[in-house]
Amino acid sequence: MQLQSQSVKGVCGLKLLHLGDLHLGRSLGDFDLLGEQRYILDEVLRLAYERQVDGVLLAGDIYDRSVPSEGAVRLLDYFLNRLAERGIKVFMISGNHDSDERLNFGSSFFEAKGIYIAARYQGELYHRCIDGVNFYLLPFVKASQVRHFFPDEEIESYDQAVKVILRHADINPEACNVLVAHQFVAGSSLLPELAGSESVAVQQVGLVEQIGADNFAPFAYTALGHIHRPQQAGGENVRYAGSPLKYSLGECNDDKSVPLVDIDGAGHVAVELLPLKPRRDLRHLTGRLEQLVSRENLQDTDDYIYVTLTDEEPLDNAMGIIQGYYPNAVKLDYRNSRTMALEQEDVFRAAELRSFDELVGDFYRLVYGQEISEEEMAVMQEIGAKAGVVDEAH
């Protein structure tokens, strides 16, 4: 799929792959996904070699948690080494799931190998000029972090924080500029399509973190991470790569891909989406148990499977029966007249009982893996009031 883009001046030919949200070390239910992640990264390497790319953009959430497993660290080391051996440069930032300190360790040494890492915002936008292209790296930031460096600026929202960062970066809009960032970015009228846990969190309180795509006008291409569903965000040149694998039930129907960003010798930028096919797919099966395990309906039995049974009564050892046919079944639930009635009742109860502060606290624990500070809560309350999400008298 070829997507045309804008022109920029004074650059040589350059090809870049854009990745985000690797979440190395992630599991799916009780299943360790390191083998699947190794397989899909080998697919990325194959594409990088075949297309003779010059660089790879890694847009945050490299690891799934702030303290990654030994296997996850080894896998990232393997991937970076394979790229460095071919002289393929890497531009990597941290996401909200990453530990700044751990991802930043050895960054000065790695730079000598063509691996450029910005894991912590320290008051100025990380910038390197490579082969006539200006690469800017913006790791995940909160409004409170940016206010620390610019106390005299008005920074009440994440959008204002990013505006301040970019304004102080003194970016030449006539040059060829590429940005790698990890934030919640939306177009003027459209919000990103969400999936899985990110959908629940952002729909409830995450809109106060929304950043306008118009901030990125000075960039020929903006490589985003943070949203798992691949898509553009306000323009063809502002794009979420999406996660390379399906990590939740909400992603079952997604087609995963890796954008190939081609900046030719005349300075024209084009994006081609290269499909990524996993070793094992993630699928959602719905129906009566008898139907799902019938011979005519069995296919790709090695896939990861979510099962929703429509039988009106719970069945003994239903998961054991399913796993006899689908050994990688992840989770089983029921959807019938009884569960639908209970779901409707729970929705109304949750809406009545959960306060804005509780929703914000849940959001931060889910997205950032930590408790929200009093300062950040005050900022969220102020922004929420201005957005009409919470009463100003709160």
- Mean pLDDT of the residues in the chain: 84
The answer, yes or no, to whether residue 161 has pLDDT greater than 50, is yes
Cα–Cα distance, 137 to 92 (Å, whole number) = 7
Residue 35 and residue 202 in contact, taking contact as beta carbons nearer than 8 Å:
no
User: Which tens digits make up the pLDDT trace of 190-244?
Assistant: 556 656 555 544 544 455 578 888 999 999 999 999 899 999 887 778 999 999 9
Cα–Cα distance, 227 to 20 (Å, whole number) = 9
The answer, yes or no, to whether residue 150 has pLDDT greater than 50, is yes
User: Which tens digits make up the pLDDT trace of 24-34?
Assistant: 999 999 999 99
pLDDT tier for residue 11 given thresholds of 50, 70 and 90: low
Distances (CA, A) of 323 to 123, 156, 286, 292, 340: 52, 51, 15, 12, 25
Residue 10 and residue 267 in contact, taking contact as beta carbons nearer than 8 Å:
yes
pLDDT tier for residue 13 given thresholds of 50, 70 and 90: confident
Q: What's the confidence (pLDDT) of residue 5?
A: 45
Q: What's the confidence (pLDDT) of residue 8?
A: 44
Beta-carbon contacts of residue 320 (< 8 Å; ≥ 6 apart): none
Beta-carbon contacts of residue 168 (< 8 Å; ≥ 6 apart): 124, 125, 150
The answer, yes or no, to whether residue 12 has pLDDT greater than 80, is no
The answer, yes or no, to whether residue 2 has pLDDT greater than 50, is no
pLDDT tier for residue 267 given thresholds of 50, 70 and 90: low
Segment 156-184 shows an average pLDDT of 91
Q: What's the confidence (pLDDT) of residue 364?
A: 67
Order of strands across the sheet that contains 177-182: 126-130, 133-138, 177-182, 221-225, 238-240, 231-235
Q: What's the confidence (pLDDT) of residue 132?
A: 85
Q: What's the confidence (pLDDT) of residue 205?
A: 44
Q: What's the confidence (pLDDT) of residue 6?
A: 46
Kind plus residue range of the DSSP H or E element containing 82:
helix 70-85
Q: What's the confidence (pLDDT) of residue 314?
A: 84
The answer, yes or no, to whether residue 149 has pLDDT greater than 50, is yes
Q: What's the confidence (pLDDT) of residue 204?
A: 44
Segment 82-101 shows an average pLDDT of 90
Segment 339-357 shows an average pLDDT of 62
The answer, yes or no, to whether residue 117 has pLDDT greater than 90, is yes
Residues β-bridged to residue 3 = 271
Residue 35 and residue 278 in contact, taking contact as beta carbons nearer than 8 Å:
no
Arch. (CATH architecture) of 2-275:
4-Layer Sandwich (3.60)
What does DSSP say about strands 211-212 and 257-263: parallel, antiparallel, or unpaired?
unpaired
- Tell me what percent of the residues of the chain surpass a pLDDT of 70: 81
The answer, yes or no, to whether residue 91 has pLDDT greater than 70, is yes
Beta-carbon contacts of residue 254 (< 8 Å; ≥ 6 apart): 195, 228, 229, 230, 242, 246
Segment 128-142 shows an average pLDDT of 91
> pTM of the full predicted structure?
0.81
The answer, yes or no, to whether residue 42 has pLDDT greater than 70, is yes
Which of 131-135, 248-252, 341-345 has the lowest average pLDDT? 341-345
Which of 177-181, 378-382, 388-392 has the lowest average pLDDT? 388-392
Judge residue 293's burial from the number of C-beta atoms within 10 Å of its C-beta, 0-12 exposed, 13-18 middle, 19 or more buried: middle
Distances (CA, A) of 356 to 119, 132, 144, 380: 31, 48, 19, 10
**Which position has the higher pLDDT, 344 or 285?**
285
Residue 335 and residue 308 in contact, taking contact as beta carbons nearer than 8 Å:
yes
Q: What's the confidence (pLDDT) of residue 366?
A: 60
Segment 126-139 shows an average pLDDT of 92
User: Which tens digits make up the pLDDT trace of 284-326?
Assistant: 999 999 999 999 999 999 999 999 999 988 889 999 999 999 9
Segment 257-276 shows an average pLDDT of 88
- Tell me, what amino acid is at 331? K
Cα–Cα distance, 283 to 306 (Å, whole number) = 6
The answer, yes or no, to whether residue 4 has pLDDT greater than 60, is no
Q: What's the confidence (pLDDT) of residue 144?
A: 87
Count how many Cα atoms sit within 13 Å of the Cα of residue 335 in the half-sphere of its side chain. Answer: 9
Q: Domain ranges in the chain?
A: 2-275, 282-335, 340-386
**Cα angle vertex 304, ends 341, 241, to 5°?**
95
Q: Where are the beta strands (DSSP E) in the chain?
A: 2-7, 14-19, 27-28, 31-32, 55-59, 89-93, 115-118, 126-130, 133-138, 177-182, 185-186, 211-212, 221-225, 231-235, 238-240, 257-263, 268-275, 282-287, 304-309, 329-334
Segment 8-24 shows an average pLDDT of 81
Segment 163-172 shows an average pLDDT of 93
